[in-house]
Amino acid sequence: DGTKMYIVDTGSSSGNVSSADGFISQYSLSTAWDLSTASYDSVSATVAVANNSGSTFSRDGTKFYVIGLNASSQARTLQYNLSTAWDLSTVSFSNNEFNHTSQDGSMVAIHINPDGDKMWMVGYDNDKVYQYSLSTDFDVSTASYDSVQFSLGSQTSVPYGFTFKDDGSQMYTIGLVNDGIFQYST
C-alpha cells in the first residue's frame, strides 16, 4: 500500500553485522509512495548473505527473500518468515534456501508471482532472466529450474534490477550498460 519501504545493504565489519552477513532496514512513509515522507523505523534484520543485492516480499508480507553469497561464498536465495506481516522486528530464518549457482553465480534481483508458484531471477554473469517453479507455494527450497531463460544482452548488460507488472503481462529491466529501463511483453 506504499506505506512501508525496505532497503537491503551488503555486509560490513562494523556494528553487530559480520562481514558474512547483510541487513535489511525498514522505513515508514507518512504519505503513501512519497519518499520525501520516509522515516526510519529503527528496525533492521540481519540476513545470512553478504553482497546481497536483491530481495522481495511475498504479497501478504509474511515472507521475504534475499539473494547473495553465504559464509562459504556460495550463491544462495534465503527465505525469512515474519510473524507479523511487514514488520522486520518479527523476522526469523525459515531454514529454506535455494542454490542458483548452476544458472548464474551473480543473481542481483528476484521476483515471485502473487500465487507463489513461479520465481524469476536476473543475473549479470550471463545477462539473463531465469524462470523457476516452486512445488510448494512461496517455499524457495522447493524451487526447480524450468530450463527457461531470456537474454537481456541485446538491450543491456550488467543488469541489476527487474520487476513485473502485477498481471505478469509486462517485464521491466534496468542495467548499467545503455543506462535505460527496458520493457518487454510476456
Question: How far apart are the C-alpha atoms of 10 and 45, rounded to whole Å?
Answer: 12
Phi, psi of 118 (to 5 degrees): -135, 145
Cα–Cα distance for residue pair 185/168, rounded to 1 Å: 9
Per-residue pLDDT tens, the chain, 186 aa: give them.
Answer: 999 999 887 654 444 444 557 788 999 999 999 999 999 999 988 888 766 678 899 999 999 999 887 767 778 899 999 999 999 999 999 989 999 889 988 888 899 999 999 999 998 889 999 999 999 999 999 999 999 999 998 898 888 888 999 899 999 998 888 878 999 998
DSSP for residue 36: G
The pLDDT score that the predictor gives to residue 117 is 96
Buried b / exposed e across 36-52, counting CB within 10 Å, b at 16+?
eeeeebebbbebbbbeb
Residue type at position 56: T
Closest CA to 149 of 103, 97, 117: 103
pTM: 0.86
Strand partners, 171: 164, 184
Give the C-alpha separation, 179 to 96, whole Å: 35
